[in-house]
Amino acid sequence: MTLWYEYVGNIHIHTTASDGTGTFSDVARAAQAAGLDFIIVTDHNKLCLSEEGWRGPLLVLIGEEIHNPDRNLEGSHLLCLGVREDLSSLANDPQALIDAVGANGGVSFLAHPFDRASDFLSDTYPWLDWGVNGFTGIELWNYMAEFRSYAVNRWVGLLIVNWPQYFTRGPWPETLAKWDELTRDRPVVALGGSDVHATPHHFGPWTWKVHPYELCFRAVNTHILTPEPFSGDLDHDRALVLEALRRGHCWVGYDLPALTTGFRFWARQGERIALMGDRLPPGEHVHFEIWLPRPAHVRLIRDGKVIARTYGDRMHLVTSRPGVYRVEAYRRAWGRRRAWIFSNPIYVREG
C-alpha cells in the first residue's frame, strides 16, 4: 500500500466573529493543546480569510457556515470549506450556493442534516432542501447537536454540561440511513463536525462554559489521508486538506474514548488499490482490509446492511459483489457501547 499521511482535524467551529465565545487565538491555542493538525473555522455567514495560516504546528483554515436568517423555518445550514470569497449573499438559494462553492474551488457539506429537539431545547436546524444536488457530502455526526435531544430539562442539561462523555452515543440512525440512500446514486462524503461555540451556561449564581473548545477538539474529529505531507506552504497544504475531503479520503473518529489515529480501510483488486472514498470496477474479486488502532466491535456494511462483524483490530473480507462498502466501529466507554469510527465508503460499481 502506498504510503499515506494521516492528519487529524476538527471542522465546524464558531468564534467571536459570529456566535462563538473564543477569539481566533483562543481557538488556535485550544486546538494546539488538543494536539490537532488542522482546524476549519466556519463562522455563520462570515468568511474571515485573514485569519487563515499556520499557527505554530497547527494549520488554521477558514470556511463559513451559510444559512438564510430570513427564512421562517430555520435550517439548511451549509458548510462551505475552501472558498475564496464570501458566498453568503446566495443563502436564499441553496442550489445556487452549492454550485458557487464548487465553482469557487471549495467543498460543501450539509450541516446537521437531521436534528432532534427536546422539550427543553426545542429549536432544530435540519437540512430542508433535499432536492439539491452537487454537494460534496454531509456532516454525519455533529458533536454539539447530539446533546440537544438529551437535554430534557435544566437538570439533565447541567449533567450534560459537566459530563458530556456519558451522553455521547453517535450519529443519528436517520442520518446514517440517508447517507446510505444518497451514496446509491453517487459518492457522498461524510465528515464529523464539532459545532463548538463554548457558550456560557447560567444556573443560579453559577456560570459554566458549555463544552469548551479544547474538549470539543478531543471529541468528534475528521481524520484525513493525504498522498504527500504538509509542507508549511498554506496554499499547498490547504489543497491537500480539500482534496482529501472532496475525495472522501477521510473518516469520522470519536477520539475522546480512544484515539482513532491509525485506522485504515482499503481494498485491493489485482494491481489496483482503493482507499476509502475511491471506486473499483465490478467483476473481479475485491479484498477488503480493515485495521483498527485497538480492538473494537467492527462492522463491514454493504449498501446499508451489515455483511460481516467481529471484535478485534483486524478484518479481511473477499467478495466480488458490487456495492457501497463502509466500516463502522464501536467501543465500550463510560458504561455503554459508543460509536467510535465511521469510514467513508469504497464504491465497487461502474463509474
> Which residues make up the interface to Zn ion (CB under 5 A)?
65, 77, 111, 195
Cβ 75 to Zn ion, closest distance in Å? 9
Cβ 300 to Zn ion, closest distance in Å? 32
Comparing CB distances to Zn ion, the nearer of 143 and 340 is: 143
94 backbone dihedrals φ, ψ, rounded to 5°: -55, -40
Comparing CB distances to Zn ion, the nearer of 19 and 284 is: 19
Shortest Cβ contact with Zn ion: which residue?
Answer: 77
Cβ 19 to Zn ion, closest distance in Å? 8
Cβ 111 to Zn ion, closest distance in Å? 5
> Left, alpha or beta for 45 (phi > 0: left; psi -120 to 50: alpha)?
left
Comparing CB distances to Zn ion, the nearer of 113 and 187 is: 113
Comparing CB distances to Zn ion, the nearer of 138 and 276 is: 138
The DSSP 8-state label assigned to residue 26 in this structure reads H
Cβ 82 to Zn ion, closest distance in Å? 17
Comparing CB distances to Zn ion, the nearer of 42 and 269 is: 42
3-state secondary structure of 133: coil
Extract long-range pairs of 238-244: CB within 8 Å, 24+ residues apart: 238/52, 238/59, 238/61, 238/82, 241/7, 241/9, 241/38, 241/40, 241/59, 241/61, 241/82, 242/81, 242/82, 242/105, 242/106, 242/107
Comparing CB distances to Zn ion, the nearer of 15 and 226 is: 15
Q: Which residue has the cell 466480488?
A: 320
CB 218 within 8 Å of CB 10: no
Cβ 14 to Zn ion, closest distance in Å? 6
CA distances from 329 to 63, 113, 207, 218 (A): 29, 22, 36, 18
